[in-house]
A and B are shown apart, each in its own frame.
Chain A
C-alpha cells in the first residue's frame, strides 16, 4: 500500500479488516442485514472497487452483503420503453446484450472502455455508479439517457434520476440501509447517434482523465455529459442549449468549444494537468459531436464504427 500522506507507516496488502459475509437470496433479507449493519455495512456486487479499498485500508466494513444471489438483480430486460439493468449485471453482460448494442450504443461504447475483460466480467454498472469515483465511465451514458436509479430500503423503494444521484467524489444520495437494485434506462428513438470519448494515457486500460458521452436525438436534440472533470459527473447544459435544434457547422462547434471552460472544472493530478484536460475536452467535444451526428445520419464517407476511438 502506498504511503498515504505522511501518516501511514505500514504497507497494506492482505485484507485485515474483519467482517461478516452474507449472501442472501431475497432482497428483503439483504435489507434486514443492511439495517443491522448500519453505516459499517457494505453491499458487495462485483467487488472490483470495494476489495481494493478494503486492501488499501480505505474502507473497513464489518458486514458485507453480497447481492449476487438475488435473482431479480440479474435482470436485464425491457420494461415498457426502457431497459432495466439489475444491480448484478456486469459490464460484460451489457457489452454482449443485443438491446444495449443496438438501442443504447452510448452505454455499449462506454462499457467497452471500462478496465479490461477480467474486471468487466465482474464489475457492474450499478456498482460503478455506487462507487461514484469522479472518473466513472458509466455515468455520462446514464446522464445522457436520463436514467433512473431504483433503490430499495426498509421504508420502501424510490426512483432517483441519475442527475440527482452524484453528490461528490464517492458520495451519492443512497442512504444507510438502502440498496440500489438497478437502473431504468429509457430507450431513445431509433434515429439517434452517440459517441463516448475517453481520454486515457494510452490505448490500454486507464482511468478516464476526461470522459464525454454524447447522444444526438432526432430534431437535433443534443445531450452531453462529462466525467472526470469535476467532483461529480454532470450534463453540459449550456452547450446543449447552444446546440439545441441546430445542425452542426464549423462555427457552431467553435462556439460550443468556447463554452467548455464554463461546463467543467478540471483539476491537475497525477494523471493529467488541468490545462491538458481542458484542451482535450474541447477536442473531444468536436470529434465526438461529428462522430455522433455521422452515426445518426449514416452519411458521410468516413463514419467511425461504434467502439472505434475518435481520439
Chain B
C-alpha cells in the first residue's frame, strides 16, 4: 500500500506525517503521535471512548481514517487540558468519574455541547452524552456536574458529611467527609494512564489469538506453516509450547487448548508479529483441524447420565481444600449446607411455596478491554503490565503455571496502572496468562495482547447462568419454618474461579433471614460455554432474583405485607447463620425502615395515563466477602521532605475510589491533608502484598493495613520526638501536620522539620531518619473448613454487609416499557469513609443491576456461539436510561474490626436490582417473571398469553 502524506492541526499545532490508507485516526493519534487520551473501548463506534473533535465536531476516531483528516483541525483532551476548563474542575470536584476510562470522551463531547450551547437543558446534556458509554457512574453525577455550571454555588461534593465519633467523643476531620478524589484531576485531564496507554518502544510485538469455532471438539492437527511464512511474523505458538495447567481455586485450564477445545472462542494458537495487522492476517492462515464432539449448554442437562463429559481428568485436578468435585461427572464442586430439620420445618408450615427461577449469563462491560504486555528479558525476568484487579494473584498464578519453565515468584513482576473498570472481569487471571506465556517464546521483546470488544464478551469471565429451585415453608403468622434452595450453576468450560462463586452462594443462599431449618445445594456444573467467573455481586445477584421474588410471593399468598414479613424474619446480630457461625452487628432493620419511607411504601400511586400502571417493591440483600480465610493486605507509608506522603498498596483503583479512601484514613491518623497524599498503583516489586481487589473487602482489609501503617508511622514520630527532645511520648499528639504536647501548649514541631532528616540535638548530631510506616492485616478468626456434608463447623465468612432496595416503576401496558421513577437503596456501610463515593457506588451499581433485568443478557445459538458480542446488541445503559430519581441511604452500624467501623459495599448496590424490578412489575400489572431479563417484549408477550 502506498503511504499517504497528511497535514493537519493537532491541538493547534501543525503536524505532517505519512499514514497507511487503512490506519484509523485513533491508531495514528495513539501509536504514532503519543496522544493517549482517546481510548479504544469497542473499535466500532459504539462506546464513544475515542471521541475527539474534528473541526469542532465530535467524532469517533476509530471510525475515521487518518487519511481523511488531511487539512482538518483535530482536538483532543490533551489540548483542552492545556487551559483546564470550569467543566473539568466541576467534574473533578464533584467526583463525577470513577474509573475514568470514559472521561476523555465525555469531556470532549461535553466541550462540543457547551461550545455551541453554553446553557444546555438537562435533556440536552443527556442527549449530547448518550453516545458515551460509562459503566461505573450511573451518569447522574456527570450530568449533574455539567448542569451545575449554570449555578456558581453548586461546586464541590454533594453528599453531606458523616463524621466518625471516637470513643472519647472527638469527631473525625477527614474520615466521613466527602473530599475530592485523589485521582479526579488526572482523570479529567486525560493524564491518567491505563495498561493500553503504556509505551514499549519500536520493539513491541503484537499477538493475535486463533480461536476455536467449536463448543466442543478434539484438535486433530494444527498447521502453522503458512502463517510462519508471512513477512513480519516472529513466532507462532500453540498449546504444545505450554503444557501447563493453571487456575485460581482449581487448576483445570490450559494456557492454550492442548488436545481439546471446550467453548467457542477458546484460544488455540497465537501469531506473534511486528505489528497488529500482520499478526491478524497471518492468524487467518493458521489451519486447525477439529473433530467435533457432542456439547452441552444447560447445567441441568449436563447432569444427566448421557451428557457429554467435559473433564475426564477432573479427579486429578489440584484444588483448594474446600471444593468437592465429583470425578466422572460434570460436577466441579457441590457445596452442601444442612441446618436443623427441613422436613420437620415444612411439616410445621401453613404454606409451602415451590418454584424455579432462571438467570442467564451477563457480561461485565468495563469500557476498558483487557490489555496485557509481557516481557521476558535476557536475564530471565518476566515483567507483566496488565489491566488487573489482582496483580499479586496474577504473579502467584503465573509463577505456578510457568514453574515448568524455571520461573519463580521473585522472577516475576506485575505492574498495574489505573484500571478502566473491573466489576470482577479483571480479577484472577484470564487472558493475561497468554501474554505471560508468549513472552517466554520471544525472549527480549515485549509482546502485547489487546482484547477486542468481542473477545471481552466471549473469552473473559462471564457471569454464570443459574437455575434455582426454591421451596419455602411459612406459618400463617409469617414466621419462616424451612428453606430448601437448590442451585444449578452454568459454570462454563473451566471453573477455576467460578467454582468459588458457587461456594460463596452455597454458604449464604438463605439471604438475610433467620431460618432454623435449611437445606442448600449449590452445584457447579461444567458446560460448553465460556468460563464463568466473578462479577460484581459474586453469585448473590443471581440467587436473590429467585429468593426475594419468592419471599414477596409467600407474604402475599398469606395476606401479609411483604415489608412487615421481611422485618419479622430479618436476621439480627447474634443469630445463627446457615453454617453455624453468628451474625455480625448490622443495621438491616434501619435499612428496611428508611427504604420503605423513601419510596412511600404502602401508598398506592395512580398513574397520570390510564394505559400505564405504577408498582412498588422492597427487597433485602446481604453479601459477605468471598475470599480465602487468610487473604492478607499490607501497606507501606513513606514521608517526603515536605511531610507529604506516598502510600504504597496493591489494592487496585478500579473506579470505586480506594486510593481516596486510603488517603483519608492515613490523613485522619497523621493530620496530613489528603491533597498532600499520593497513593500509588502497584508494582509487585515495590508495593507490598494484597491478595486481590475483589469481594468488596479492600476498604476493610486494605483500610486496616493503611490505618496500621499510619499508626506505625505516628509511633515512630513520637519515638523520635521523645528521644531527641525528651518529651514524654504519652503526652504527644498530632494536629495540623505538627507534633503537639498535651502538657506544653507552646510545643509545636512541624512534621516537615524532621520526617526525613531527623531532629538535631544539642551536639549537632541527629536522631531519627526517614519515617516509614508499615501495616498488615489478615483476619485471624476465619476458617473455610467445615463438615463437607453439612457445612457446619467453619467460619468461612468474615462478616456480611446488609441493606434494602426499593423501587417505584411505571409500566406502559401496551408497549411493556418500564420506567424507573424512583430507586432507593440503603446499605449498612459500617462507616462511610467518603459519603460522596458511597453515593457514587449506589448510583452506578444500581443502574448496572437494573440493566441486567431490564434489557441485558447474553444469547447463544444452538452451537454455543455468542450472538451478541458487541454494544450494538448487548445493550448497556446510556445517559438516557437512568432512573428519574436515585436515593442513596447510608446506614452506619459499625463493623467492630473495620477501619473506623467501615465495611465494604461496592458490589451490594447491584445485588437487589433484579428482584426489585420483578416485584415491582408484579405489583404494577400482576405479571410474575420467573426468568431474567424482564424486557418490554417479555412483559407484552406474557400478557398476551393470559
Contact = CB atoms under 8 A, between A and B. Distances in A.
A and B, one complex? yes
A126 B34 CA distance: 35
Interface string A99-140: 000000000000000011111011000000000000000000
B112 interface: yes
A250 interface: no
Contacts of B281: 16
B4 A21 contact: yes
Contact of A52 (B22, B63, B854, B879): B63
A117 B869 contact: no
Given A20-B2, A204-B130, A9 B212 contact: yes
B817 interface: yes
A94 to B, nearest CB: 14
A199 B869 CA distance: 21
B454 A118 contact: no
Contacts of A13: 43, 276, 280, 450, 452
Contacts of B24: 15, 51
B131 A119 contact: yes
Contact of A10 (B4, B65, B208, B941): B208
A296 interface: no
Interface in B863-889: 863, 865-870, 872-873, 875, 877-881
Contact of A3 (B51, B59, B265, B283): B265
Contacts of A271: 873
Interface in B841-881: 854-855, 859, 863, 865-870, 872-873, 875, 877-881
Interface string B23-35: 0100100000000
Interface stretch (B414-422, B598-606, B932-940): B932-940
Given A18-B21, A118-B109, A11 B60 contact: no
Interface string A284-311: 0000000000000000000000000001
A48 interface: yes
Interface string A4-42: 011111111111111111010000000000000000000
A194 interface: no
A260 interface: no
Contacts of A51: 24, 45, 62-65
A221 B831 CA distance: 66
A75 interface: no
Contacts of A92: 57
A280 B815 contact: yes
A117 B214 contact: no
A304 B645 CA distance: 58
B493 to A, nearest CB: 15
Contact of B877 (A3, A8, A115, A202): A202
A305 to B, nearest CB: 11
Contacts of B2: 20
B209 interface: yes
B214 to A, nearest CB: 7
B58 interface: yes
B57 A202 contact: no
A68 B72 CA distance: 12
Given A20-B2, A116-B131, A64 B867 contact: no
Interface string B119-151: 000000001101110000000000000000000
Interface in B912-946: 935-937, 940-941, 944
A205 interface: yes
A203 B879 CA distance: 9
Nearest to B212: A9
Contacts of B341: none
B458 interface: yes
A204 B878 contact: yes
A307 to B, nearest CB: 10
B70 interface: yes
B854 A119 contact: no
Contact of B815 (A6, A7, A272, A311): A311
Nearest to A209: B937
A55 interface: yes
Of A10, A203, A206, A275, which is in contact with the most chain B CB atoms at under 10 Å from its CB? A10
B940 A47 contact: no
A156 interface: no
B523 interface: no
A3 B213 contact: yes
B44 interface: yes
Contact of A115 (B4, B22, B131, B209): B131
A26 B276 CA distance: 36
A273 interface: yes
A3 B868 CA distance: 10
Interface string B211-242: 11110000000000000000000000000000
Nearest to A51: B63
B282 to A, nearest CB: 10
Contact of A15 (B22, B865, B875, B941): B22
Interface residues of A, number: 57
Contact of A1 (B57, B454, B812): B454
B42 to A, nearest CB: 10
Given A14-B276, A121-B58, A3 B865 contact: yes
Given A14-B276, A203-B878, A7 B213 contact: yes
Nearest to A284: B815
B721 interface: no
A118 B212 contact: no
A66 B865 CA distance: 36
Of B57, B65, B265, B276, which is in contact with the most chain A CB atoms at under 10 Å from its CB? B65
A21 B450 CA distance: 27
A54 to B, nearest CB: 8
Nearest to A120: B131
Given A92-B57, A204-B130, A119 B45 contact: yes
Nearest to B55: A121
B1 interface: yes
A189 interface: no
A229 interface: no
Contacts of B878: 116, 202-205
Given A52-B44, A204-B130, A279 B60 contact: no
Contacts of B877: 202, 204
B277 A14 contact: yes
A134 B413 CA distance: 51
Nearest to B859: A270
Interface string B94-135: 000000000000000100100000000000000110111000
B814 interface: yes
A2 B458 contact: yes
A202 B264 contact: no
Contact of B51 (A10, A118, A275): A118
B48 interface: yes
B210 interface: yes
Contact of A2 (B127, B284, B869, B879): B869
Contact of A206 (B812, B868, B875, B944): B875
Of B21, B27, B458, which is in contact with the most chain A CB atoms at under 10 Å from its CB? B21
A207 interface: yes
Contacts of B941: 273, 275-276
Given A20-B21, A275-B941, A202 B48 contact: no
11 contacts: A2-B867, A3-B265, A9-B268, A10-B284, A16-B281, A55-B44, A118-B45, A204-B881, A272-B937, A275-B941, A279-B944
6 nearest CB pairs, A to B: A116-B131, A204-B878, A21-B21, A203-B880, A15-B22, A276-B937
Given A3-B866, A7-B213, 9 more contacts: A1-B454, A10-B211, A13-B276, A16-B281, A51-B24, A116-B878, A118-B59, A119-B45, A203-B880
Interface of B: 1-2, 4, 21-22, 24, 27, 43-46, 48, 51, 54, 57-60, 62-65, 67-68, 70, 109, 112, 127-128, 130-132, 208-214, 264-265, 268, 276-277, 280-281, 283-284, 286, 288, 450, 452, 454-455, 457-458, 812, 814-815, 817, 854-855, 859, 863, 865-870, 872-873, 875, 877-881, 935-937, 940-941, 944
